[in-house]
Amino acid sequence: MNMRFIPRCVVTQLESGSRREGFHGIRPLILLAASAFPLCVSDSFPVRRRGQEVYYPTLRTKHYASEIARCVSMSASRERGEEPDHTPNFLPGVDRTKPFSRLLVGAGCFWGVEKLFRKEFGDKLRATTVGYAGGARENPLYKDVCTGQTGHYEVVEIQFFEDKTSLSDILRFFWRIHDPTTLNRQGNDVGQQYGSAVFVYSPEQRRIAEAVKEEMQSHWSAELTTAIFGGTPSLPCVRFWKAEDYHQLYLERNPRGYCNHRVRF
């Protein structure tokens, strides 16, 4: 099969050009997907310039253009609350057919984060799930993430009902239950996997997350280190991998288990 290589510089030009023409986001790449030619993504791309061969960096993973379009569609559907590709930990008695929204939060060990969110919001939530996000490796295992070398964060997927609570309230609580000023650390838990992070599924969710982060900065004397991922043309797609079953609802099954989270103010 003949492959076509698209360098990052061309992708950037497509995105900036589309904005000048009144388009937004990653639509030019969706048009490439519709053309059905295979898009191969590699580490470098040769371009002739004044008799020299110059290598430009390209996208890092191997996908077809249709995969990029699928990624954009997946993010939109997940923000709307369409069913994810895993079985979450439902709150007791909730209407599982009701529309909902979601986001991912990382605030250290996911055991305590899941426990406090379920306790605080109760039936305002549809479900929670602990897992991993942010790294490049597909289907990561806990033993790999624990090395701190995979790029993943320990996160909790929060599925919530917008007629009962808001994304802003979810995020305010998130910034109240951990120390977001310590980079890649929560108490004795040290490593990139324990970093403070929010993963969103749309530009609107990102706008809200950035606004609430600025608001919550006033409660802390040091600068917040929380990273916000997703909701941009260069990163429209948020990947989430459910953690192993023994991590799910861990502190409900082990009430005396390890937890260093608390409501701080």
Whether the Cβ atoms of residue 127 and residue 159 lie closer than 8 Å to each other: yes
Taken as a whole, the chain contains a residue count of 265
Told to judge if 109 belongs to the known catalytic residues of this protein, a careful annotator would answer yes
d(C-alpha 58, C-alpha 260), whole Å: 41
- Among candidate residues 109, 146, 237, 259, the one labeled active-site is 109
DSSP string computed for 22-84: T--TTHHHHHHHHHT--EE--S-EEEEETTEEEEEPB-SS---HHHHHHHHHHHHHHHHT---
Q: Give the contacts of 53 (CB within 8 A, at least 6 positions apart).
A: 46, 47
DSSP string computed for 162-209: TTT--HHHHHHHHHHSS-TTSTTEETTEESGGG-EEEE-SSHHHHHHH
Residues that are catalytic: 109
